[in-house]
Structure 1
Amino acid sequence: MTKLSVNINKVATLRNARGGNNPDVLAVAHDVEMFGAQGITVHPRPDERHIRYQDVRDLKPLITTEFNIEGNPIDSFVDLVLEVIPKQVTLVPDGHDQITSNHGWDTIENKGFLTDICKTFRDAGIRTSIFVDPDPKMVEGAKACGADRVELYTEPYASQYAADRAAAIAPFIAAAEEARRVGLGLNAGHDLSLENLQYFHEMIPWTDEVSIGHALICDALYLGLQETIKQYLLALK
C-alpha cells in the first residue's frame, strides 16, 4: 500500500501570517493522523517562513506515524535532523530564496557530498531519501550515494497531466522501474492532487509513499480536512 504523508507547511504559513498559534500546527498534525494519514512531512527552511525549527522539535514526540523531514542539508538542517531523529529525511536541493522546490539533485555531480550526508543519517538510523528528477541516471546515482529511497519530483507530471497523461507519466515510469531494479524505495511528491494522483498510483503502484501538502490543504478549505484525507486515501487504493 502506498502511504500518504501530509505536508503541513501550509498550515504553518497561515499561522505565521497572523502571528499567535492559530491554526495550531501540532493540533493539525494530530488530526491528520487521526483521520488516517500514515505520515507527517515538514520542510523547514532557514528563514522559517512556514515550519520553524522549534515546530519540528515539538512535533517529534507527538507523531505516532512516520515523521519525514525534508530540506537542503545545510549544517543547521543536518543538526536539527540528528537532534530529532525522524523516521525519514528527504534531501532536497533548495536555494535559500526558493519559493518552493523546483528540481531534483544531480546525484552524479554531487555524489561525494550526498554520499557523506547519506552516511551521516544512516549511521543515526534514519532512512534517507534523495529528491530527484524522473531520470533513471539520477536514480542510479542516488543508489551509488547510499540512499535508501528516491523521491520523484512530480511537478512536470502534474503540469502535463491534463494535456496528455500518458506522455506525462512515461518518464516517471522509467525512473520508478530503475528504482525497483537497483533496490531503492520509491516516494513521490510535488503538485500531486486529487486530479492526478489516482492515475499516477495506477501506473506506478509500487510507490511506497506520496508527500502532499499544497493541493491537500487547498482542497480542505472546501471539503474539510477529514473528508479531504479520505479522498486522497481512496485515490491510493
Structure 2
Amino acid sequence: MDSSLLVFAADILGDTTGGLTGSKIAKYCVGYSIEYNVKIPYATYPFPKNVPNKRTALFENLKCFSDVQRTHIIKELCELPEMENNPQVGILKKKLSERTGSTTKNSVDAKIIAKTQHWLASYPRALKSYEQAIEKFENGEYQRNTLDDMRFSLEMLIKDLLGNERSLENNKNDLGTQLKQKNVSSEFRNMVTTLITYFCSYQNDHVKHNDDIKENELEYTIEFTSTLMKFLIKTLG
C-alpha cells in the first residue's frame, strides 16, 4: 500500500466530522497492536501536543503494520457502525480494492495472511518465503513459484521448530513424534502428516510436468498451509 492511499484512509477515518473520535482511534489501534504484536506510537488519548490532529496519529499508527495488516485494519474500520453514514467510506473501500487487487476472482483472506505473518515473525526464513508467495499470488504471476515458496516456507518453519535441517518429506516422522509428545490426538497427527504428504506430492507433480496451477487450488493451498503453520507454531513453538 503506497503512502498516498494510507494518507487518504487516515484522512477519512479520522475526519473531524464523519470520522472516528480520537479516543476510538486509540482504542482500535491498541486492539490491533495487541492482535498483531506490533508497537504503535500513539496508544493513548489525548495524543501528545506535538501531534497536530487525530488523522496524523492514525496515519502514524497504521504505518507500523505490514501492508496486509493495514489493508485488513482499514477494511474493518470502514465497517464500523459509526462510519456507515460517511459517504467517503465507500470511495475509500473502492480505492482500497483497486490498489490492493482485492476485487480479483480469487483472493486469499487478508485476515488469514495478516495473522500468519504475525505468527511467523519469530521465524524469518519461513516469513520471507511466505511473503514472497503472497506477493506473487496477489500479482497474478508465477503460479508455480508461488507454490514453491509456500512449500519452502512450511519446510523452513518445520526445520526451525524441530531444530534440524531435514527436508519436508524427511521431517514428517519427527513432526508426528513431537506432536505426540504435546498430546495431540493420533487422528489429528495423521491429518497433519497426510496434508504434508499430499502437499509435497501436489507440488512435485506440477514441478515435474511444468503444469499450470488452477488459481482456486492455489488459493486454497495458501490458506490451509497458513492455518497449518499457525497450529504448528502454537503447538511446538
Instruction: Establish whether TM, by shorter chain, passes 0.5.
Output: no
TM range (shorter): under 0.3
With normalisation by structure 2, the TM-score equals 0.26
Whichever of the two has the greater Rg, that structure is 2
TM-score normalised by structure 1 residue count = 0.26
Identify which of structures 1 and 2 has the higher relative contact order when contacts are C-alpha pairs closer than 8 Å and 6+ apart: 1
